[in-house]
């Protein structure tokens, strides 16, 4: 009886440890530049980003919030209000531009905001595309970053939400020289 209780205890401890380590999310960034043979790989736990943000106090970043300089942007856009309107629409194509130079597609697909950009080298040479960008941002990530008022981006909420995301790609940009990939696992 004692032995089986001890064994059960050990199994519970081990499984608890496995659940803890499995729930820990890491953000990965891979940048490859072909022209100068450069490769950059960054792999850090999301928890580390959260505490690193606490250490960061600049004019723009305070209390985990990034203040947008609207004077520098030369426009006064209420991003939060625009997003509040946009997020009401499920599975909707918001932008589709098809031209001889580029194709741009912005849509909501379920829980994701998808942005796809395809730059072409000439009219009918899609195979020779010089740049493609695919950005898949979970809606709740945009909710988190725009949860603050007064033209601020809530980086702290963004990082907290990153920790809750399932594993997968967030950003992938590929052109002839550069490949950038950001993903969570």
Partner 1 sequence: MSLPLKIIAACAGSVGILFFGAIMTLASQQWLLVNVETHGPDAVNLHIPVPMGLIYPSLHFIPEDAREIEIPDDVELNREALQQMVQVLRDCPDGDFVRVSTRTENVRIAKSGGDLLVCVQTEEENVDIRVPLAFFDEVLQSIDGNKIHTAEMASAFSTVRHSRFLSVRSPDADVTIWSW
- The distance of closest approach from Cβ of residue 56 to partner 1 in the complex, given in angstroms and rounded to an integer, is 9
Q: Which of residues 23-52 bind partner 1 (CB under 8 A)?
A: 36-45, 47-48, 51-52
d(CA 105, CA 63): 35
Contact 26, 185 (CB under 8 A): yes
Give 108 or 156: the residue with its C-beta nearer to partner 1. 156
DSSP secondary structure string, 74-102? TS---HHHHHHHHTT-SSEEEEEEE-SSE
63 belongs to the binding site for partner 1 (CB under 8 A):
no
Give 20 or 95: the residue with its C-beta nearer to partner 1. 20
- The distance of closest approach from Cβ of residue 139 to partner 1 in the complex, given in angstroms and rounded to an integer, is 28
Give 31 or 129: the residue with its C-beta nearer to partner 1. 31
Return the DSSP state at 149: S
- The closest of 26, 50, 59, 80 to 156, measured between CA atoms, is 50
57 belongs to the binding site for partner 1 (CB under 8 A):
yes
d(CA 30, CA 38): 11
Give 47 or 173: the residue with its C-beta nearer to partner 1. 47
95 belongs to the binding site for partner 1 (CB under 8 A):
no
- The distance of closest approach from Cβ of residue 145 to partner 1 in the complex, given in angstroms and rounded to an integer, is 21
Of these, 21, 72, 99, 100, which contacts partner 1 (CB under 8 A)?
21
Distances in Å between the Cα of 86 and the Cα atoms of 26, 106, 128 are 29, 12, 34
- The distance of closest approach from Cβ of residue 57 to partner 1 in the complex, given in angstroms and rounded to an integer, is 4
Helix (H, G, I), strand (E, B) or coil at 63: coil
């Amino acid at each position: 009886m004692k032995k089986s209780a001890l064994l059960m205890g050990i199994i519970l401890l081990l499984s608890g440890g496995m659940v803890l380590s499995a729930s820990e999310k890491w953000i990965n960034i891979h940048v490859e530049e072909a022209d100068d043979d450069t490769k950059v790989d960054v792999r850090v736990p999301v928890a580390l980003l959260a505490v690193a943000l606490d250490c960061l106090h600049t004019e723009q970043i305070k209390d985990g919030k990034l203040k947008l300089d609207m004077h520098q942007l030369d426009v006064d856009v209420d991003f939060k209000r625009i997003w509040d309107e946009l997020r009401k629409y499920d599975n909707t194509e918001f932008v589709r531009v098809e031209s001889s130079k580029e194709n741009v597609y912005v849509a909501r697909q379920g829980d994701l905001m998808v942005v796809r950009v395809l730059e072409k080298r000439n009219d009918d040479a899609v195979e020779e595309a010089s740049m493609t960008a695919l950005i898949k941002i979970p809606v709740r990530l945009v909710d988190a970053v725009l949860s603050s008022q007064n033209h601020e981006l809530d980086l702290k909420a963004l990082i907290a939400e990153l920790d809750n995301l399932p594993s997968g790609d967030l950003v992938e940009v590929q052109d002839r020289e550069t490949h950038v990939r950001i993903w969570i696992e």
